Amino acid sequence: MNLEQIKQALLESYRQDGGINHFDGSNLPAQDSVNQLAADCMHLLFPGYFEESGLAVGDLPAHVDRMLVRIDRRLGTEIEKCLRFGGVANAADRAREHTTAVLAQLPELRKLIRTDVEAAYQGDPAARSVEEIILAYPCVLVISLQRLAHVLYHLGVPLLPRMLTEYGHERTGCDIHPGARLGTHFFIDHCTGVVIGETTTVGRHVKLYQGVTLGAKSFEVDEQGQPIKGVKRHPDIGDHVTIYAHATILGGETRVGAHSIIGSNVWLMKSIPDDSVAYFKADNLIVRSRHKKEGLIERVGSPEHHHEWEI
């Protein structure tokens, strides 16, 4: 086939195979622009860390002014595109309101993000400095962008929150939905392969290791067999919980109690109380109190799924 024939075949494909075309509709947010927005926001959240040359305190007002103007313009443009896509009336005015609301949250977001950096430094004995954490730990990027996207998510802006978190996902291999609610002092060690679903809540001082999934057990569907949106599908993680590598915790009714420890490779689909330890022993999932005198809470045999309770 020559190029003319290939062109005609593609045009015919566009006519016949709909569903992945977007013609004559609203202008969608541009991926490159959103990626640049994400990078620019990191400069504003962490001044002096990602510049090509040093940033002096005396230069800070001009630097912040320059970055704010740049982000304000780009963010407003992309939010307006998203609102027009969503059929929002007065999209330009609403975009201006949302842009101002997001930027006004930046000082508060920095307070939250500072707790995440502190958690990473305190939670990893290999860390030599806060500078190393900010420059080289992938959790800083992905959690910071999720916290920013979470503001947009709750403003009801379509598309853009997920595109921002996807920038972090592409860079780190860690996928946190913008709808997830994250407490303070959140640390994801190594980061790669972690998945946190939309309706997850994560308490304060929670530490995850690589490969952890906080996911959905199943999807409710409507009469047409389509997934029902907006229902609670993902677990709740209490304060001061540690979840080790490749553990999987599923379900909207599943809660991991505060001060609990989930061992590596644990598969959990039911709630466990505060101060629990969950781990595998041979083929059995053991859930016991962290206080040894209280003994075994539950033993779940993987082949028969029976339960043994100790009083």
* 63-72 contact pairs (CB < 8 A, 24+): 67/40, 67/43, 68/44, 68/103, 70/40, 71/37, 71/40, 71/41, 71/44, 71/103, 72/99, 72/103
Span 174-208, pLDDT tens digits: 999 999 999 999 999 999 999 999 999 999 999 99
Write down the pLDDT at residue 298. 67
Which pLDDT band holds residue 54 (cuts at 50, 70, 90)?
A: confident
Which pLDDT band holds residue 25 (cuts at 50, 70, 90)?
A: confident
- Looking at per-residue pLDDT, the higher value among 54 and 214 belongs to 214
Say if residue 9's pLDDT is above 80: yes
Q: Which domains does the chain have, with CATH numbers?
A: 20-274 (1.10.3130.10)
Write down the pLDDT at residue 296. 61
Residue 116 to residue 254: CA distance in whole angstroms: 25
Span 99-154, pLDDT tens digits: 999 999 999 999 999 999 999 999 999 999 999 999 999 999 999 999 999 999 99
Residue 237 to residue 184: CA distance in whole angstroms: 13
Residue 149 C-beta-side C-alpha neighbours within 13 Å:
31
Which pLDDT band holds residue 232 (cuts at 50, 70, 90)?
A: very high
